[in-house]
Amino acid sequence: MKNYIYNLLLLFGILSYSQQDSQYTQYMYNTINVNPAYAGTRETFNIFVLHRNQWVGLDGAPVTNTASVNTNVGDSRFGVGVSFVNDNIGPTQENGISADIAYIIPLNGEYKLSFGIKGTANLYSLDANKLSIYQQNDPEFQSLNGKLSPNFGTGVYFYSDKFYVGASVPNFNKTKYYNADEVSINTKSVNYYLLSGYVFDFSQSVKFKPSFLAKIDEGAPLQLDVNANFMFNDKFVIGGSYRLESAVSLLAGFQFSNSWFLGYGYDLETTKLSNYNSGSHEIFLRYEFFKNTKISTPRFF
């Protein structure tokens, strides 16, 4: 129990400074969760599921499950999407369901610009029974069951078949969760995202895509992920990632067919936290139904 309490306190100390929204190493495949303007930009019916087990071996560490669907709407310029995120961190659980609408503007034969809005409903719970509390009546450590909080966000996404850059604020409202005694249990701040990537054709069989994701969280240091991925024969992907002053990652993926893609990521902490866990695992599966038979070039993002 002492180890659990120690690890939990350590975990919450880290989370209070570093992580508000769910964290993804393979954000380049899961862009819709951070930028609503991504909806429909692949011009396919896209189904995506992801499981992330963070800081394995640390009691109460984050576990995230994500599922999303997005598609373009017929021959119109609209894209729509729905996503679900389940976050479990120590004694807390947060479930969020979001709806995204994007409007895509063709600029010329190569580039397009998309504007998106996101509406989200979050359900937050705290199970105080998972804590060892010295004063059982302390109002700061009472259970909080099913606190619903709405939010909204927006984003912009500029892209072609080989390049993308996007900026977004998925949630504009700074949210505080209160228990029955009106004591603030948790505060979710506003996060700002900037991401970009480019695909270089080294040869007919080898492609290289560097990318980055910058995340600014009010009251926390800048989070910066820098990635480098190689794709061979439009099938096999391997690469690495560096999260500023936090972790290094190994990424791999395989395109089983035109529709199915499986990806895996492993994070190794570079901070003192590495003494208390054996890394983080992230796995995802993507299925795409191609409605537009004119699409012949596989998209790398």
Interatomic CA distance for residues 26 and 29, integer angstroms: 6
pLDDT at residue 9 greater than cutoff 90: no
For the domain made up of 18-289, give the CATH fold: Porin (2.40.160)
- Picking from 54, 2, 32, 21, the residue whose alpha carbon sits closest to that of residue 283 is 54
DSSP state of 29: G
The pTM score is 0.86
Mean pLDDT for the stretch of residues 103-110? 92
Domain residue extents for the chain: 18-289
Give the pLDDT of residue 10.
Answer: 43
Instruction: Report phi then psi at 127, rounded to 5.
Output: -100, 95
pLDDT per residue as tens digits for the range 69-104: 999 998 899 999 999 999 998 888 889 999 999 999
